[in-house]
């Protein structure tokens, strides 16, 4: 069976959740074409490309490098292996609640070996490293993007951003989603980040009434302040992230390097990530 057919109707079977199909009434609401400036159409792109038009679990994986930038010189620091577990629940008022949990596995830029220690090239300090779990958290969305703020044990997180515009060329569609994130922890400098995300898919998949979630890929560029734990002092500079990946339904579909980490390090999440999305959030220690 083709992957897009799986995305259309077998999420419940593969991920252990009830099966939901798009109803005829939902299908009738689909436009005949996508207007990239229409706010409702941007909301449809958000549902089809990023999430789903029905209630289901999803996974996004992303892989790429984190860089430091000082005086215009960019230095690779580590490779990011990221997995985002999500569960979508639609509300009667047209909004949707999305539960999300992120796990980050850092690897060496040269060898791709899992990092247990990392040396900061700017100050020669060495830090212990371990996989980082953030969440699970639940946020509410409408056609303009996220509506609610979030918090983690040990930190408050403030977000603002925008959904769109979209770019269409033939059957290809790219949806932009930008966010400004500010993390505050007592006794530490404020951490700030600008997340610039681009989602890509097919217009024909978005307009297909039999697909609740269209196959899609994602590219993210992040410009952010130094992590407080890096102890950069007065050194002026920024961190830059460049990662890309894809949406899928099961851990086995995740990039093999990342799925291997999930199964080896977090086997209980690999077996049933949906149940973990219903649990309490991890404390934010980094």
Q: Who's near 235: CB < 8 A, 6+ residues apart? A: 70, 122, 123, 226
**What confidence score (pLDDT) does residue 7 get?**
46
Kindly tell me if the per-residue pLDDT of 154 is higher than 70: no
Q: Kindly report, residue by residue over 124-151, the tens digit of the pLDDT.
A: 999 999 999 999 999 898 887 777 666 6
Burial 185-209 (b: 16+ CB within 10 A, else e): beeeeebebebebbbbbbbebbbbb
Read off the pLDDT of each residue in 8-36 and give the average, rounded to a whole number: 50
Cα dihedral value 64, 45, 84, 87, nearest 10: -170
User: Which residue(s) pair with 221 in the sheet?
Assistant: 196, 242
Pairing of strands 57-70, 238-248: antiparallel
Among 224, 206, 226, 227, CA closest to 215:
206
CA distance linking residue 52 with residue 6, whole number of Å: 13
Pairing of strands 73-90, 57-70: antiparallel
Q: Kindly report, residue by residue over 77-127, the tens digit of the pLDDT.
A: 999 999 999 999 999 998 999 999 999 999 999 999 999 999 999 999 999
Q: Kindly report, residue by residue over 33-73, the tens digit of the pLDDT.
A: 999 989 999 999 999 999 999 999 999 999 999 999 999 99
Backbone angles phi, psi at 231, to 5 degrees: 55, 50
Kindly tell me if the per-residue pLDDT of 152 is higher than 80: no
Cis before 107? omega within 30: no
Q: Kindly report, residue by residue over 237-255, the tens digit of the pLDDT.
A: 999 999 999 999 999 999 9
Cα dihedral value 219, 263, 213, 280, nearest 10: -90
CA distance linking residue 153 with residue 145, whole number of Å: 24
CA 108 to chain centre: 22
Q: Kindly report, residue by residue over 161-188, the tens digit of the pLDDT.
A: 889 999 999 999 999 999 988 887 777 7
**What confidence score (pLDDT) does residue 148 get?**
63
What residues does each domain of the chain span? Answer: 3-19+39-277
Q: pTM of the full predicted structure?
A: 0.86
Among 14, 31, 27, CA closest to 54:
27
Kindly tell me if the per-residue pLDDT of 211 is higher than 60: yes
């Amino acid at each position: 069976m083709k992957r897009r057919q799986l995305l259309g109707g077998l999420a419940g079977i593969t991920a252990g959740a009830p099966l939901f199909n798009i109803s005829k009434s939902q299908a009738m609401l689909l436009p005949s074409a996508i207007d990239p400036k229409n706010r409702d159409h941007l909301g449809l792109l958000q549902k089809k490309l990023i999430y789903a038009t029905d209630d289901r679990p999803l996974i996004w994986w992303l892989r790429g490098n984190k860089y430091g930038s000082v005086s215009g010189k960019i230095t690779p620091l580590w490779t990011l292996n990221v997995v985002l577990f999500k569960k979508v629940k639609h509300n009667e008022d047209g909004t949707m609640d999305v539960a999300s949990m992120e796990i980050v596995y850092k690897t060496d830029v040269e060898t791709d070996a899992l990092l247990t220690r990392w040396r900061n090239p700017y100050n020669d300090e060495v830090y212990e490293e371990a996989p980082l779990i953030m969440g699970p958290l639940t946020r509410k969305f409408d056609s303009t993007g996220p509506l609610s703020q979030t918090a983690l044990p040990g930190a408050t997180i403030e977000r603002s951003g925008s959904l769109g515009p979209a770019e269409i060329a033939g059957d290809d569609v790219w949806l932009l989603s930008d966010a400004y994130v500010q993390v505050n922890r007592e006794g530490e400098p404020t951490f700030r980040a600008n997340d610039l995300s681009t989602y890509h898919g097919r217009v024909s998949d978005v307009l297909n009434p039999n697909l609740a979630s269209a196959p899609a890929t994602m590219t993210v560029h992040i410009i952010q302040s130094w992590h407080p734990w890096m102890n950069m002092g007065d050194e002026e500079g920024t961190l830059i992230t460049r990662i890309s990946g894809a949406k899928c339904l099961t851990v086995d579909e995740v990039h093999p390097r990342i799925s291997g980490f999930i199964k080896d390090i977090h086997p209980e999440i690999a077996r049933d990530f949906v149940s973990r999305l219903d649990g309490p959030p991890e404390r934010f220690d980094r």
